[in-house]
Structure 1
Amino acid sequence: MSEMLKITGLKSTVNEKEILKGVNLEIRAGEVHVIMGPNGAGKSTLANVIMGNSKYEVTEGSIFFEGEEITDEAVNERAKKGIFMSFQAPQEIPGITVENFLRTAKSQITGEQVKAIQFKKEMTQVMKDLDIDRSYAQRYLNMGYSGGEKKKNEILQMRILNPKLAILDETDSGLDVDAVKIVSKGVTEFKNEKNAILLITHHNSILDYLVPDVVHVMVDGRIVDTGDISLAREIEKNGYIKYREAKGDAEWKKEIKLI
């Protein structure tokens, strides 16, 4: 499997506060990686830095995508190269329908005009797979959607745009069991030997349906442990107690913003 994403010594600040403190990560095509960790560990910051969000300043380290350094590239350039990110709280966009948004996005990413009839056929099939009512195609993007509908809509975007690397930030957050199954099915059907998935989650429920190749634990802006699904099960049973004990209780509480 070829290398998809490589991160070396990555440090990043937000409003002059250092959040990432030296992240190293490698993801190969065909792999599913999961990042877990307590609140404030830097998981969402890492996702945003990979995507190129200008709010986050990279102060040290490098990001490579398919062998090319993209550390300083803009969000739209990363999207064109095949990087996609779902968000914890998807934005509501009045006046733009789901269908028009997706057609425009696909045209910009591929650089080709998307044929309306062919696109509608593809979108209708994916919506059916995700148990999304066809009427949503003509609704304004995320306007009046429930939390579950927003998350399913992001999986719809991922399936339609078909990126090489999909970064899913808390995609399972707030979903009921049925919605988790549907979202997991959508992600599983997207996965193949030519793409890769980076899933950030607090929960293990989605891992009952989407088995990762690698699980990482992030604490205080660093990846401190890496393993397989058994690591996620250990955390489900014991929490992050061993990492807390290793750092000392007072220091741990500061890092996860409990005091």
Structure 2
Amino acid sequence: MSVLTVKDLHVSVETDQGTKQILKGVDLSIASNEIHAIMGPNGSGKSTLAYTIAGHPKYHVESGSIMLDDQDVLAMSVDERARAGLFLAMQYPVEIPGVTVTNFLRTAKTAIDGEAPAIRGWIKDVRASMDQLRMDRSFAERNVNEGFSGGEKKRHEILQLELLKPRFAVLDETDSGLDVDALKVVSEGVNRAKEANGLGVLLITHYTRILRYIQPDFVHVFVDGRVAEQGGRELADRLENEGYDRFLTQTNVG
């Protein structure tokens, strides 16, 4: 079993108004085969945590640590983090003109594993995953995310997740822009990856609807760059009924 541990993490970004602190002491621990949901109002630092784990250069770690077992994640480059088993499904996946999905996936797999996958077996795996995600085979010859609908972009993210087989996945609002059918298909893909590979998941979301299909073991409420409260699935249900007002009131009083 592996563990991804975030300890007393403080992160800032540079803005037109100067340095702004976003994360203000985040503590979080995710083990293999666990699903942790992070919920919170806009601007609370959820996506900042995701991009900091992935190594986005925009975010400056002022103090604290991120450890993958005994490995110092903050000392790794972005590609080293990917090879170590970290995966980020982005809220807004970027377009890569001129690069087909087929070439992108095989290049990524080769970079992570250190060797190219055998062609016959690889094609079989890609087609099987695409079929399960209800993606037309012609999708493989399109350029990455170019002209994709919101649902296609999110399915492509989960296709990567299934084929690259990371140890931990950060899913940044994977449910945004999905209709009910697409939400089910994407959720099934995440659950398959968890069952097949013991994947640990950090699921960032505003809404509880995806939690009907991806059952969290733990729910963490993010407010003003900190974990304000944590609990089980029942906490998500409470948030849906009550919103975040009580946390925001506590923050303002504090």
Superposition TM-score tier, normalisation by shorter sequence? over 0.9
1:227 to 2:226 alignment = no
- Say if 2:110 and 2:116, in contact at 8 Å, map to a contact too: yes
Q: Deviations over 1:79-125 (max 9, x none)?
A: 00000001111011111110110000000000012222221110000
Displacement of 1:3 after TM fit?
Answer: 4.3
Change (3 A) 1:3 1:116: closer
Q: 1:78 aligns with which of 78, 81, 90?
A: 81
* DSSP-derived class of the 1:30 partner: coil
- Stretches of structure 1 that go unaligned for 5 or more consecutive residues are 252-259
Partners of 2:3 and 2:138 in 1: how far apart?
36
Q: Scaled by the length of structure 2, what TM-score is found?
A: 0.95
* DSSP-derived class of the 1:71 partner: helix
Q: Deviations over 1:3-52 (max 9, x none)?
A: 42011110011112110110010011110000000000000000000111
Displacement of 1:248 after TM fit?
Answer: 3.4
Partners of 2:248 and 2:57 in 1: how far apart?
32
* DSSP-derived class of the 1:226 partner: strand
1:91 to 2:94 alignment = yes
Which residue in 1 is equivalent to 2:211? 207
* DSSP-derived class of the 1:172 partner: coil
1:7-18 mapped onto 2 (5 Å cutoff)? 7-15=6-14, 16-18=19-21
1:156 to 2:159 alignment = yes
Q: Scaled by the length of structure 1, what TM-score is found?
A: 0.93
Which residue in 2 is equivalent to 1:198? 202
- Stretches of structure 2 that go unaligned for 5 or more consecutive residues are none
Displacement of 1:196 after TM fit?
Answer: 0.3
Q: Which amino acid aligns with 1:29?
A: S
Which residue in 2 is equivalent to 1:254? none
Q: 2:243 aligns with which of 239, 246, 249?
A: 239
1:50-199 mapped onto 2 (5 Å cutoff)? 50-192=53-195, 194-199=198-203
**Structure 1 outlier segments of 4+, above 6 Å:** none
Q: Deviations over 1:107-166 (max 9, x none)?
A: 000001222222111000000000011100011001111001100110001101010001
Displacement of 1:244 after TM fit?
Answer: 2.1
Partners of 2:188 and 2:211 in 1: how far apart?
11
Structure 1 window deviating more from structure 2 (189-198 vs 207-216): it is: 189-198
Displacement of 1:66 after TM fit?
Answer: 1.9
* DSSP-derived class of the 2:198 partner: coil
What is the RMSD of the two structures over their aligned residues, measured on CA atoms? 1.2
Displacement of 1:72 after TM fit?
Answer: 2.4
* DSSP-derived class of the 2:177 partner: coil
Partners of 1:239 and 1:194 in 2: how far apart?
32
- Say if 2:224 and 2:251, in contact at 8 Å, map to a contact too: no
Which residue in 2 is equivalent to 1:255? none
Q: Give aligned pairs, total.
A: 249
